[in-house]
Amino acid sequence: MSAPRVAGRKTAAKRLPPAMLKPASDSIVLISDSTTTAAFKTIATTLIARIVSQQAAVQQRDPVGVHQMRIALRRTRVLITIFAALVYGPETERLKSELKWLTGRLGPARDLHLMDLKLKETDGVGSTAFRKRLAADRASAFATASRTVTDKRFDKLLADLSRWIEAADRAQTAQGVPEKAKTFAKRTLKRRAKRLTGKLDRLEELDDEQRHRVRIAAKKLYYTAGFFESLFAGRKSGKRLAKFSKRLKKLLDALGLLNDAAVQRELATNVASKSQHATKGPAKAAEDVAAAGDAARDEQMRAALKAARRLADTPLFGE
């Protein structure tokens, strides 16, 4: 069974443009006078190449490869969102759904790996039964991720994304989309920055789910800034954007720690429930995991609030 799968992957890879088969880089370089359509194609091609470059690592169950592919997938979904007026249509919606499917297939492996690392760093947390159940769930999640990137559905998604990018030249552009990428970038970044900073005043009052939604908005803005930063390189506006992005990253780091603690509490409960028949130890282990996360919560919240204040005091492009 393995030989046909390998052959299938090679066939799918040959259908991709050469630019998507080159060694991938996180750097996105846009020409200063790029059109909006050209910018979209350059960014999209770079991101798909990043997904392709991690396929072998995910197949080999490498945690770093899983993490990097998930980042590339999330960035691709953000790209679709911000360029929606350029690429809207049934095919775009279908591809968004497929990208979400793929992200979801990789998610449990990443989350369980982080919990495993956390337990290894914390002496005395987690009973033997809990750790065994966690190890089994982690192995199963990585096996699922590995199978997913050898599936024909994965190959088809890559090929469809390639055709979709090329079709951007013939896309029906909505009225009001600027021709120049720099104009489009400034408008998009300002709108999203204003929307995010308007949510930060109440950050301390939000529950886990509400704060997670703020984190998603911040992450989308951070990715968007990364897409367009090369358009402003070497200019005063570029330095201001870099400062804004740096402070946005600090907010994301703090919100990420808070979110990790919330995710691990839920995962610990799920893992414990599967082991409950053997001993009461797993329930206590889940409580210990939750307590370990909660112990640092106040410090993490203070860091998030400080980062939010500093970000709100850093106008995008100095305006």
Instruction: Express each pLDDT in 49-95 by its tens digit.
Output: 999 999 999 999 999 999 999 999 999 999 999 998 888 889 999 99
Q: Assess whether pLDDT exceeds 80 at residue 200.
A: yes
d(CA 204, CA 263): 18
CA 168 to each of CA 9, 151, 162: distance values in angstroms, whole numbers, following the listed order: 25, 27, 10
pLDDT confidence band for 298 (50 / 70 / 90): confident
pLDDT tens digits, 256-295: 888 887 777 776 666 666 655 545 555 555 555 555 555 5
Among residues 171, 189, 226, the alpha carbon closest in space to that of 38 is found at 171
How confident is residue 131, by pLDDT bands cut at 50, 70 and 90? confident
Cβ-contact 30, 182 below 8 angstroms: no
pLDDT score of 157 more than 70 = yes
What's the CA gap between 22 and 214, in Å, rounded?
35
List helix spans (H) across the chain.
2-14, 18-21, 36-53, 55-59, 63-82, 84-87, 90-121, 128-148, 152-166, 181-197, 208-228, 236-275, 281-295, 297-312
286 Cα distance to chain centroid? 27
Copy the structure tokens of residue 279: 């001993």
Reply yes or no on whether the pLDDT at 11 is more than 50: no
pLDDT of residue 5: 39
pLDDT (0 to 100) of residue 4: 34
DSSP state of 180: B
Please check the confidence at residue 182 and state whether its pLDDT lies above 70.
yes
Q: What average pLDDT score do residues 134-162 get?
A: 95
**pTM over cut 0.85:** no
Q: What pLDDT score does 88 carry?
A: 84
Q: Is pLDDT of 222 > 60?
A: yes
Q: In residues, how long is the chain?
A: 319
Q: What is the pLDDT of residue 287?
A: 56
Say whether pLDDT at 211 is over 50. Answer: yes
Question: Between vectors from CA 134 to CA 131 and to CA 139, what angle results, nearest 5°?
Answer: 125
Question: Which of 218, 220, 219, 240 is closest to 229 using CA atoms?
Answer: 240
Q: Which amino acid is at 203?
A: L
d(CA 103, CA 114): 16
Tokens for 45, please give them: 């091609």
For residues 4 and 11, give the distance between their C-alpha atoms in angstroms, rounded to a whole number.
Answer: 10
When pLDDT is averaged across residues 31-40 and rounded to a whole number, the result is 92
3-state secondary structure of 305: helix
pLDDT at 7: 38
DSSP state of 235: S
What is the per-residue pLDDT for 65?
97
Tell me how far apart the alpha carbons of residues 11 and 16 are, in angstroms, rounded to a whole number.
9
Question: What does the alpha-carbon distance between residue 263 and residue 209 come to, in Å, rounded to a whole number?
Answer: 10
User: What distance in Å separates the CA atoms of residue 75 and residue 123, rounded to the nearest whole number?
Assistant: 36
Mean pLDDT rounded to a whole number for the chain: 83
Q: Which of 226-235, 242-251, 269-278 has the lowest mean pLDDT?
A: 269-278
Least confident of 9-18, 56-65, 81-90, 139-148: 9-18
Question: For residue 178, which of 37, 319, 80 has the smallest C-alpha distance?
Answer: 37
In this model, does residue 8 exceed pLDDT 50?
no
pLDDT at 56: 97
